[in-house]
Amino acid sequence: MAIPTKYPTEPLKCWPKAKEIRQQYYKDYATAHDRGGVRWSGGAWAFDAVPMGLGDDVHVMTGEPYAASIAFDRKFAQECQDATDARGWARDLCSYMRIYWGSMYLNRFFFGGEFPKPDFYYQTQICCSHAKWDQEASLYEKVPFYCIDVCVGPYETLTEERLNYVVKQLHDSIEGMEKTTGRKYDDEKLIAAVHNECRSTSLWAEICTLNKAIPAPLDEKTMFSLYVLATLQRSSKKIADFYEELRDEVKNRVARGIAAVPYERCRIITDTQPPWGFLKIYRYMEQFGVVSVGSLYTFGLEGIFADQEDGSWGPRKTPEQLGIKIKNRDEALRITADWNLSRPQWQHFYDPQIKTRMMLRMVNEWKLNGVILHLNRGCEGLTVGSSENRLGLIKAGVPVMTYEGNMADEKEFDERRTTSRIESFMETLGLEQIEAARAAQAAS
Amino acid sequence: MIEKFKEWYINRHTYAKQWKDRTGGKVIGTFCTYVPEEILAAANMLPVRILGSHEPQDVTEPHVFGMFCPFCRDALAQGLKGRFNYLDGVVLAHSCIHFRQTFNSWRIHLPVEFSYYIPMPNTVQTPHARPYHTVEVEKFKKAIEEYIGHPITEQDLDRGIETLNRNRRLLRKAYEYRKLDNLPLTGEEAMYMAVTSQFIDKEEHSQVLEAVLKELPERKLPRDAGIRLMAVGSENDDAEFFKMVESVGSTVVIDEQCAGSRYFWNESVPNGDRLATIANRYLDRPPCPVKDYPTHSRFQHVLNLAKDYRAQGAIIMQEKFCDPHEGDNPRLKKFLEENGIPTLSLEFDSTNPLGPFRIRVEAFLETIRGEELF
């Protein structure tokens, strides 16, 4: 059998920087109080630009990436979940939430020391688990909880009243944060944070768009370590700047034909969070010449997309790019509300057909050969409607494989069963293992 | 007359079809109890709540992954099996992600003439929910007007509000009798009464309720009430479960569930603005946990009910995989127990293991009776 084309590969130059930013983020959060700073916790979907108006020494720890970090350490993840189960919480609840609560109940911080208690919790209400997560955490830690309801329907149906509903809640939350921290809110800092938020999420969408190239300059397993920065604090200048650097490097990789996977001959996307403790399934697929170029999850959880002039899907233009000057608090809040409500990964909460349409768009524009859906028992929010997505994709003629698992609870993931399903899917796609790829992985 | 509710409960689909033939009106399937039925009543439509059947089913697996609650799958199964084929339209008021799947799969695979999604606020405690939801109720009214081809007048709205309020008032009156020492009705009977109000023409239901209210003062249970219990938790319209509980020395005297009291507990309070009156009613009702933010306002309401109805214990009924309730129950359990209400937690599916549940209920009742054991 002929050996498929081998593309040149090389490591990402900014990889160490991504790692450093992430490490510094958790360190800053843990030590914020030592420096007189403010700590808040909440979700990766919280309006994280808003608390930035409280000062430059305000640090956040978003719960999902924190729990995902723990999930990689299967032993500690289990201890956390056991601690949560022991308090009577149902085992089928969001596994990130169960891990975060467990770490809090055990008073053990994954990155060392005691669990750092936040000064307040700040969250959006779109997923049934998200708001319960911070409601319980705030009661346990005895700190305030600000919850912004964003259940205003899909972005394509957004009206002035629906936007106003969100904006008014954001105004209220600022008053609450001022009372909680005793600090005077600085609108200029909010405006800067909103610009950075738009910049980083638009840049991430641009980076994902660059993955339309053949060979793909990035593979999804690598993207997991890059998109995560936006989930940590997308409104941070440091992160927006990093994405600019990353965008330039990825652009350069595309220009030079640098691949993420050397024997790329089949392109797929996946869906929802992966089973974090078992990312090797992506490496296994590479032995067949398969590259996962992303997913609606890696793209649209934080990337903000919009229709481009040529009709394709790409980065939404930022207020700065549109020449919009944000003059005051209300304008800043309106922009961040509108921006976040257009998040691709929020749309499917209302109707799976919207997600199917987005996935079909990815299939066509990213030139895909198939889709793998993770029926993720750990996350009701991102698995909602997945079965209808499967039917919709099949109806459109797209090969689809599903596997059951859990992003953070290894008890609900069967590795052997999943690899067997992958093998069958590869066979369906007419792919056989590439000996050179297998040997190269075995040697690495 | 009280038997009429059970008859309706069993023959709900026949009733809806006959109603349609009799009146020529439109039948609208309501997903979740947050749909403002006043608008539908004002338009002379029959709102029919989409519920399950408590039978095993094998038709929903391709549509809703098995990690979602059995209720949402059981309800969808009824549609896929053609049992709701008389519906002219479907409406969902935003609630939990589980039931939204039922609505969406319904829209995709069981097309109807009219389909509408109301983005009902999920943080009902914020004051901003009021003006926002009023506008959404107005939009819903306009969509209905467009569908039926004529405007809904202020008089129609008044009639809709009063029709719903009257039914709520009568249900509250009937529930008052459950506070008595000598109970005139069982929890099972009360369940039939409350659940049927969610799919029977409200006027007709109210007429029967009025007749029943005349009978209740003279009515006596043919048995001792036993331990007075409260049912609290997820959606539950499993009459067989209540029947079993009441066969082992207890009576369910009050519930805090969407198939029961949560559905009808508060009335719309006219404030000069009819649509705001309707919108506020749904924001002020005893909340489903999915809407109870940022504080657990529901807990005190549950305790008040337990005290008012002198419940000696509470069965916390947890629909499997129901995140909103799963996110409340451990704290609710603690709260009730700290306030002297012992609890029994049971996990529910669309079909329930009555044998094992019976053993647990019996043990719970023995615990409550305590000193009477030896």
Do residue A147 and residue B123 have CB atoms under 8 angstroms apart?
yes
pLDDT of residue B374: 55
> Residue A8 — pLDDT band, cuts 50, 70, 90?
very high
Q: What is the rounded average pLDDT of the residues B336-340?
A: 98
Do residue A380 and residue B67 have CB atoms under 8 angstroms apart?
yes
Residue B147 has pLDDT above 60, yes or no: yes
3-state DSSP assignment of residue B347? strand
Residue A2 has pLDDT above 80, yes or no: no
> Which positions 75-134 of A are in contact with B (Cβ < 8 Å)?
87-90, 92-94, 125, 127-129, 131-133
Distance, C-alpha B162 to centroid of its chain: 19
- Rounded mean pLDDT of chain B? 96
User: Which among A123, A378, A344, A128 has a CA at the least distance from the CA of B100?
Assistant: A128
pLDDT of residue B1: 86
- The answer to whether B229 touches B187, Cβ cutoff 8 Å, is yes
> Residue A184 — pLDDT band, cuts 50, 70, 90?
very high
Report the distance separating Cα A41 and Cα A61, nearest Å: 5
Distance, C-alpha A266 to centroid of its chain: 24
B241 exposure class (CB count in 10 Å sphere: 0-12, 13-18, 19+): buried
Do residue A87 and residue B330 have CB atoms under 8 angstroms apart?
yes
Q: Long-range contacts: A323-331, Cβ < 8 Å, 24+?
A: A326/A191, A326/A194, A326/A195, A328/A187, A329/A53, A329/A171, A329/A174, A329/A185, A329/A187, A329/A190, A330/A167, A330/A171
pLDDT > 90: what percent of chain B? 97
Report the distance separating Cα A231 and Cα A345, nearest Å: 13
Q: What is the rounded average pLDDT of the residues B289-296?
A: 95
User: Which among B358, B356, B357, B360 has a CA at the least distance from the CA of B342?
Assistant: B360
pLDDT tens-digit map of A139-168: 999 999 999 999 999 999 999 999 999 999
Do residue A87 and residue B67 have CB atoms under 8 angstroms apart?
no
Interface test with chain A among B106, B122, B329, by most A beta carbons within 10 Å: B122
Q: What is the rounded average pLDDT of the residues B88-116?
A: 97
Report the distance separating Cα B187 and Cα B317, nearest Å: 15
pLDDT of residue B268: 97
Do residue B65 and residue A88 have CB atoms under 8 angstroms apart?
no
pLDDT tens-digit map of A264-290: 999 999 999 999 999 999 999 999 999
Contact residues, chain A, for B321 at CB < 8 Å: 92, 380
- The answer to whether A306 touches A314, Cβ cutoff 8 Å, is yes
Quote the pTM value.
Answer: 0.96
> Which positions 298-327 of B are in contact with A (Cβ < 8 Å)?
318, 320-321, 323-324, 326-327
> Using only C-alpha atoms, what is the Rg of chain B?
20
Q: Annotate B67-96 with DSSP letters as a single string.
A: TS-HHHHHHHHHHHTTTTTT-SEEEEES--
**How would you label A84-121 residue by residue, b for 16+ Cβ within 10 Å and e otherwise?**
beeeebbebbbbbbbbbbbbbbbebbbeeeebbebbbb
pLDDT tens-digit map of A51-61: 999 999 999 99
Q: Closest partner residue to A128 among B320, B324, B333, by Cβ?
A: B324
